[in-house]
Every structure is written in C-alpha cells, then in structure tokens.
Chains A and B, each alone.
Chain A
Amino acid sequence: MPRTGVFVCHCGSNIAGKVDVETVAAKALNFDRVVFSTTYKYMCSQPGQEVIKKAVRDNNLDRIVVAACTPNLHGKTFQRCIKTVGLSPYLSEMASIREHCSWVHTDPDEATGKAIELVRLATAKVRKNVALLPLNIPVTRRALVIGGGIAGIQSALDIAAAGFEAVIVEKEPSVGGRMAQLDKTFPTLDCSACILAPRMVEVATNEKVIIHSYSKIEKITGSVGSFEVQIKKKARYVDLGKCTGCGTCTEKCPVKVDSEFNLRLSTRKAISTPFPQAVPNVPVIDPHHCRYLTLGKCGVCQKVCQAGAVNYEDKDEIIIEKVGAIIAATGYDLFDPKKYGEYGGGRYRDVITGLQFERLINASGPTGGEITRLSDGKTPKTIVFIQCVGSRDEQKGKPYCSKICCMYTAKQTILAKEHIPDVQCYVFYIDIRAGGKNYEEFVKRAQTDYGAVYIRGRVSKLYEQEGQIMVKGMDTLLGEEVEIPADLVVLATAIVPRREARTLAQKIGLSYDQHAFYNEAHPKMAPVENLTLGIYLAGACQAPKDIPDSVAMASAAAAKICGLFSRDFLSIDPIVASVAETCCVGCNTCVAICPFKAISMEIRKDRTGQERQVATVNTSLCQGCGTCLPNCRSRCISLNNWTTDQLYAEVMTI
C-alpha cells in the first residue's frame, strides 16, 4: 500500500506570500494514501532535502510529492534527493504551486484553493508511479557541428582537442562565417581575418575534424548518444581532392555575378571561392550562372584546369554521419532595412548596412579598403551612422536589442576616421549599451579621440538632395530637430536568426522562440543546452552575441559534449512505450503511426503452437511521445511515467 509524503515549499515568500502553505499541508493529509505532510522554507536547499530524507526514513514513505516550483526547474533535484535514501527517483512528483499558482493568481484564498487542488492531482498521480529502471544506451563518440563560423570552429577544435571526432557541416563553400566578412574587431581593433585565419587552417588540418562545406542538413533521426544525420553535399563541380586552389579557372571565367560574400558591393565569377583565404580553398561553380551548365557552351574552366578538377557532371550527394551529440552554431542574418521606407527602403545607393561598411573598409574587400560612395565613387566627408535599425522597434522590427551594434558602430567611426582623416562621423542612438570589458572606454574613445558626434534620438527620414543624403532626425537631449547633409549613411541593422533557422530546428526537434532564436534549456543554469537531450547551442543562433561570447559559448558546449563522451553508456530516463503482448491483436496501427519507426511486428507462438504477430517497441528508437497509445485498439501499449493509470488518476480527482 503506497505511503505518500507531501512536502510544501514556502520558496521564501514566493509561494508562502500568497498561498497558505500550512493549510495546503494540512489538507494534503486528507488525500488518498498521504500519511505525512510538512512545509519548509526552501525545499530545494540542503536542509530542505534533509527534511525530505528524514521524513522518508522516519515514516517509511515510498512516494513523495513536492509542492514547489515547476518540475522543469527542480524535478531532477528531488529525484536525486530520494535516490540517496534508497527510493526510486521515479516515485516522486511535483505540484507546481509557484509558476502555476502563487505567481499568477492574485487572490490568496483562490491561490490556496488551487494549490490544494494541484497537490491533490499530484498525489493521485504519484500513487500510480512505478519504480522504473533507467535505460543505458551506448554513446557514439563523435559530434556534429552545424555551422562553420567562429562558434562552430571553436567547438570543433575543443572537441578534437579532447580526442573526439567533430563533423562540421557548413552551407557556404568555405568555413569562416560572419567573422570572415568583418574588418577589425572591437574593442582591440585586431584584424578579424588575422585572428580567424589560423583557426580556419587549424580546423582544416586537424585530423579529428571533418568538414563538409557547401552542404546542408537534410534530416536528423535518433536521439542523444546515437543520432543519424543525412547531409546533402551540394554539387561543387570541382573535385576537392584534385583542385590545387591555383585560381586560374576563376581568372579565366567570363561570367560575373553579384558577390554574396561582399554583399553585392562587387562581383564574383561563376566559378569562385567566396574569399581568398577560403577553407577549403577550392572554388565552386554556381550552376545558375555558369555558361556551360546553363547553355552548354563555354567550358573554359575545364580547359584551363591543369589538375583536371572541373567536373560538369558532378551531382548532389547524400552522405550519412553517425554522431552522439550535436552543436547548433548556425549564426545570424541581418534584418532587411527595406522595411524602413523612411530610410529609403533600399532606394538610395549611398545608404548601406553596417556589414556592407565592413566590406568597404576591409583591405581585401571590393574597394581594397577605400571607403567610397557607391553612387559616384567619391570619398565621403560626412558619414551618418543610424543605430537600432530593426532593433528595439516593436512597430517595424524586433523588440530586442541586437547587442553588438553600439560597439561595432563605435568601431566603424574610429576606422572611418583612420581611413579618411577629415571625415566627420555622426551617430544617432537610443541608448549606448557598452557592457563588457573595455567596451565603454572604447565608445568614449570614439567620441573623444576620433571626434564622432553622438546624437541621442531617432532619424525620421532620409532623402536625396543635390547628391547628398539628407538625414532628418531629432536630438532628444537638446529637444530640437536636426538635419545633416551626409555623403554616406550606415544602418546598424538588427541581428536576426538565419533564414533557415526555423526549418532546421524543425528537422532536428530543437525548440526556438518567437523570433526563431534557439531556446536554451534554462536561461541561467543551462545556457548552452537545448531542451532536446544531446543538442547544444553555440553563438548567435541562441541570441545576438559578439565574438568573445560566441567563442565562450562554443567552448562551453564542447565541454558539455566531452562530458557526455567520457562514458561508455548514457543513463537516460526510461520514458518509452511498451506493449503487453498477451493482449496485442497485431493490428499494425501503431507501426504506421509511430513517427520514429520504433514499433515493429514480431511473430510469437502461443501455447497451442499457433503463430500470431504482436507489436514490439525498440526502446533505443522510442522517444516517448505516446502518440501510439490513444490509437491502440486493445489498449495494450503503455508509456512509462505517463501511463493511462497515472493520467486517469489525475483526471479522476478533478
């Protein structure tokens, strides 16, 4: 006969301030099989857990209900707690009387009443809980890293340094990501390429790292410990093994196309590498623009290639990689400023984005580092920077702060001044957010040493007049309108998740927020994990982030994975389905319905020797969704910890 103990937490005043915890504990004693109840200030604390342990021992309890915060926060804590006194961790339940009660209801009587009801539900369920045994699953000690930007590179290198293999999948022809597009980095003004390139070379030459560039994730199946990844390697038309990277094909190619890497500020050839330091340093042919692939004529690149690497017959290829853990390091895109009609909606050539400005000042960029106007090639003498284009704007853009723009705008004013000594920079801002080591000092330096004029206020309108861009805005500190005739306007556009972020998340089963940034498992205590076990996050796919934060996050995710890989077997919650074979009628419905193909039919002989088919669940494939249960005609499938008995027990007490 179950003996349940109920432990009601005050959570300081978080719960006790609204809910009468003593009444909850007293009422709980009336519930079925409850033999003990008590309250404590902080149940999750060490002394709190001692209260539970002592009560279990003294009262011979075999089940506990903790009425406290959400099970997502401390479910595991109390499971571990009772494990130390010999109880199965699965014999505990939580009643969320904080998140679902004291924090969301105003009336103390109502809140207390609801807390009692929530405890009643939990005691009903726990009565039916079973001492499950954890599943031990083998671990494939290789990691998949999605995205070959600085975050992906860093985590792959860290994983490799621990002796495990890392597989990088990068959608562009080269690794490097956004950092490869930047000129210098704040607040030290290190050259971005100079600190990135060695890492790119390292990752390319590390024998523990496999790079699939110009590739896409098609599908991911399996779960923590054993994922199977389908990768589509796009046809490159150039043999990675044969190409020497001499560049003759690019030189001779007659077709010019807007360069994506240079953000359409220059052209590239139809056969090209995105940038000179590309890794791998092997070009790809753009099949939409190549004359041979579109018209069947030309073929110059094949003729000039002495290595015989050009292969027009190349096809997309699907490859399979087996890994035990995944890091999503997919990075960010930029908000499209076309949505801002008042900034020209893309009509003015001398209004560019911050990233385009990075390409302009970059020595290996389209202008060789000369800052020039796109309209007439002249050197600008007045540059206006507008911050928060798309950030902190609920009307037209995103409600959040993009975090890096204050810093890179300050950097760009400094670099502009270094390139053009008589330039005058203006920055329109809402607030300056320069939290970080040496960040505030850096912004100050832009103003004091480099003469950037900071104007607090929004720009209402840009328009062309006599070859200049007129910037009309408000100086909210002076309370007056300002109008600045600018030669060049740079928009600090918001950071948004990659365009493909949502579809990728849906392929992997990653959870994401309303903007499609990937969700961390806990905002404070599990910032690099995702709710889906075995998947970790690094870099700006989780939220806007600068380089140091991305690198730190990448190393943290790698450390988590190394921890995972340090064991032969992984112990996980046995939340899987099982079939009571005696009553299975072998109707096949569950086989068809299972999204993970975890159920199959097997032949069993009964006593009379007659053969019949019954369903069986492959526990290493089953994810525990329970979709098969309602469809089972003979109700012979069960799901651990969410059995029909348990859920009925809850429903019966409403």
Chain B
Amino acid sequence: MEYAYYPGCSLHVMSSEYDVSTRAVLARLGVTLREIPDWFCCGASSAHMTDAVLTDALPAKNLALAVKVNQRIAVPCAACLHRLKKTDHKLKNDDALLKNVNESIKDNYQGNAQIKHPLEIIQDDLKTEELSEKITRPLNNLKVACYYGCLLVRPAEAAIDDAENPERLDRLMNLLGAETINWGFKVECCGAGMTLAHKESIIGLAGRILNDAILNEADCIAVACPMCHTNLDLYQDQMDLKRKVPILYFTELLGLALGLDYNSLEIDKHIVPAKGMLLEKGLV
C-alpha cells in the first residue's frame, strides 16, 4: 500500500519526532510513504484568515502536486489535514471555484485526491488482526487519556471522527492493550495558535485539560496533532499541576507497541520527559 506523504512544516521542524514515528510505524505496518516533491506550506492558520484566493490556492497546489505521486495522500498534521480537506471539499462541490483555482495555480487539479490521517489509514485500510499480530510489546498497565483537539473533528467535511465524543484514538489504544480514560476534555480547545502570542491563554486552557487528565489518573496523554502536542507539552512547569503528564504522539505509543527501538522514535525530544514513566510501565 502506497501513499503520497504531506508532512507539513511542523513535522519538519518542531515536531520532527511525529514525522519520524509516523514514517517508522507505517513502514513497519507495510505502508509506503512517498514524500511529495516540492511540497510547501498549506497556508496554515494565517492564509485563510487573510486572503480568500490563497485560502484555496495553497492547499490546491499541494494537492495537485500530491496526486501526481498518488491519489491517496497521508497527512499526519491535524491543521494541514484540516486545510487540505476543507479546500478539497470545496473544490469537489464547486466547479467554478475549481476552474478559478486551477487558473491561479497554473495546474490542473481534478478534485480526485483522497486525503487521510494516518489514524484512518491504520484503522480503515489495514486489517485489525494484522495489526494485532504485529504487537510485540502490549501497552498493558498504561492508562492513556486520548486527546483529539478541535481540528481532527471539526467541521464535518474535514472531520475524521465524531465532534463531541470521538473514539478513534481510544479504539487504537485499547487495541494496543492500554486502558483509556473516559473524560470530558477530549475535544476541548488547547489554545491553538496562541502558543507564543498569548502564553496565558495556553496556560489556562491547556492547564484545564491536563488537570482533568490528572484527576482521571492518566499516565500520559495521546495526541495526533503537533499543535496540541506543543500546547500541552510546553508550559507544564508554569502551570498549577499536581504532577507533570507526558504528552505522546499516538504514533510513538504505537511504535513502542510494535517493538520499535525507543531511541529511534525520538521521544526524548519532548519537554516533559516520558522515559521515566515508560520505564516504570516496562515499555522501554
């Protein structure tokens, strides 16, 4: 099985460990990722706030480049996924817009991309039994709080799961042997792009999420979005928390369960160290 791969900017810089672990687990599961040559920024949160043309042109150009590699595109970053899927949805339903956009990007995108988050690839394209067979180090004794954030579940045309009570991550974690907690902050806002612009918001919003995870005795929080990861991970020492909570990409937990080498997953790059907890649980 082969996918065109759109890592997005975050995964190349700040969240490179998400990139590394995504590539590693998908390779282990027999999915080949081919990075799209010459891909560039999807517009992130700035383009659609400032320019109507760029809003669709940037994702459309990337999609046009992507389908030349493969119609099926893997996008691990929730924000990129959101941008690409939203534009794709608009283009698939508006011929006039598609024509305009194609003119402005000097390309001929046909609206034929299938955009998927790695979580969807693992859960929908692979057989559950095959995945279970490859688990060599089940995450027994690990209590995980699955955190989805906003972008993976909203709006409907870009969502990969239910907006109020998503369960994809929980299902995967359960399959890996982990216990997941039933909590009320799965889709609560973490502060989004205010990470550097307004630190106080992040401390307040992400702090509430972390507090509830602690109340529910979670060992760690599993995420599938680089922005959520940063917001939850970055300021824990400035928050009023009973203890620190390691924030792990779901791909890292999956990697551990699949028996991949701890160091190869680059988990030590996180601000809140996870190694101690993982050692304690016998997962390293």
Q: Do chains A and B touch in the complex (CB under 8 A)?
A: yes
Contact (Cβ within 8 A) A463 B162 = no
User: Chain B interface: which of A225-233, A340-348, A383-391?
Assistant: A340-348
Is B163 at the interface (CB under 8 A from chain A)?
yes
Complex interface residues of chain B between 173 and 215 (CB less than 8 A to chain A): 182-185, 212, 215
Q: In whole angstroms, what is the CA distance A341 to B163 when docked?
A: 8
- A sample of 5 more A-B contacts (CB under 8 A), given A341-B163, A341-B165, A345-B164, is A341-B164, A464-B183, A465-B212, A465-B215, A466-B215
Specify the chain A residue showing the minimal Cβ separation from B162. Answer: A341
Contact (Cβ within 8 A) A463 B184 = yes
Contact (Cβ within 8 A) A347 B184 = no
Specify the chain A residue showing the minimal Cβ separation from B166. Answer: A341
Contact (Cβ within 8 A) B185 A463 = yes
Chain B nearest CB, measured from A557 CB (Å): 43
Is A470 at the interface (CB under 8 A from chain B)?
yes
Specify the chain B residue showing the minimal Cβ separation from A461. Answer: B184
Q: In whole angstroms, what is the CA distance A55 to B164 when docked?
A: 70
Please tell me which one of the listed residues A342, A462, A464, A470 contacts residue B182 in the complex, with CB atoms under 8 A apart. A464
Q: In whole angstroms, what is the CA distance A259 to B182 when docked?
A: 28
Q: In whole angstroms, what is the CA distance A173 to B184 when docked?
A: 41
Residues of chain B lying within 8 A (CB to CB) of residue A466: 215
Q: In whole angstroms, what is the CA distance A261 to B260 when docked?
A: 56
Q: What 0/1 pattern do residues 133 to 165 of B give for CB contact below 8 A with A?
A: 000000000000000000000000000001111
Residues of chain B lying within 8 A (CB to CB) of residue A345: 164-165
Q: In whole angstroms, what is the CA distance A466 to B217 when docked?
A: 12
Q: In whole angstroms, what is the CA distance A163 to B83 when docked?
A: 72
Residues of chain A lying within 8 A (CB to CB) of residue B164: 340-342, 345
- Of the four ranges (under 10, 10 to 19, 20 to 34, 35 or more), the interface on chain A belongs to 10 to 19
Chain A nearest CB, measured from B226 CB (Å): 25
Chain B interface main SS type:
loop
Contact (Cβ within 8 A) B183 A463 = yes
Interface centre among B165, B183, B185 (most CB of A within 10 A): B165
Residues of chain A lying within 8 A (CB to CB) of residue B165: 341, 344-345, 347
Residues of chain A lying within 8 A (CB to CB) of residue B185: 463
- What are 23 pairs between A and B in contact, CB < 8 Å? A340-B164, A341-B162, A341-B163, A341-B164, A341-B165, A342-B164, A344-B165, A345-B164, A345-B165, A347-B165, A461-B184, A462-B184, A463-B183, A463-B184, A463-B185, A464-B182, A464-B183, A464-B184, A465-B184, A465-B212, A465-B215, A466-B215, A470-B184
Specify the chain A residue showing the minimal Cβ separation from B186. Answer: A463
Complex interface residues of chain A between 332 and 383 (CB less than 8 A to chain B): 340-342, 344-345, 347
Chain A nearest CB, measured from B212 CB (Å): 6
Which 8 A-B residue pairings sit nearest by Cβ, starting from the closest?
A: A463-B184, A341-B164, A342-B164, A341-B165, A464-B184, A465-B184, A345-B165, A341-B162
Q: What 0/1 pattern do residues 452 to 488 of A give for CB contact below 8 A with B?
A: 0000000001111110001000000000000000000
Q: In whole angstroms, what is the CA distance A341 to B162 when docked?
A: 8
Q: In whole angstroms, what is the CA distance A474 to B206 when docked?
A: 20
Interface centre among A344, A345, A465, A470 (most CB of B within 10 A): A465
Residues of chain B lying within 8 A (CB to CB) of residue A465: 184, 212, 215
Specify the chain B residue showing the minimal Cβ separation from A341. Answer: B164
Chain A nearest CB, measured from B211 CB (Å): 9
Q: What 0/1 pattern do residues 115 to 134 of B give for CB contact below 8 A with A?
A: 00000000000000000000
Chain A nearest CB, measured from B40 CB (Å): 36
Specify the chain B residue showing the minimal Cβ separation from A463. Answer: B184
Q: In whole angstroms, what is the CA distance A344 to B164 when docked?
A: 8
Chain B nearest CB, measured from A361 CB (Å): 28
Chain B nearest CB, measured from A558 CB (Å): 47
Q: In whole angstroms, what is the CA distance A464 to B184 when docked?
A: 6
Q: In whole angstroms, what is the CA distance A342 to B166 when docked?
A: 11
Q: In whole angstroms, what is the CA distance A342 to B185 when docked?
A: 11
Specify the chain B residue showing the minimal Cβ separation from A470. Answer: B184
Residues of chain B lying within 8 A (CB to CB) of residue A462: 184
Q: In whole angstroms, what is the CA distance A463 to B188 when docked?
A: 11
Specify the chain B residue showing the minimal Cβ separation from A343. Answer: B164
Residues of chain A lying within 8 A (CB to CB) of residue B163: 341
Residues of chain A lying within 8 A (CB to CB) of residue B182: 464
Residues of chain B lying within 8 A (CB to CB) of residue A464: 182-184
Chain B nearest CB, measured from A384 CB (Å): 15
Q: In whole angstroms, what is the CA distance A613 to B20 when docked?
A: 88
Chain A nearest CB, measured from B146 CB (Å): 14
Q: In whole angstroms, what is the CA distance A344 to B185 when docked?
A: 12
Q: In whole angstroms, what is the CA distance A466 to B164 when docked?
A: 20
Chain A nearest CB, measured from B55 CB (Å): 24
Residues of chain B lying within 8 A (CB to CB) of residue A344: 165
Q: In whole angstroms, what is the CA distance A344 to B183 when docked?
A: 11
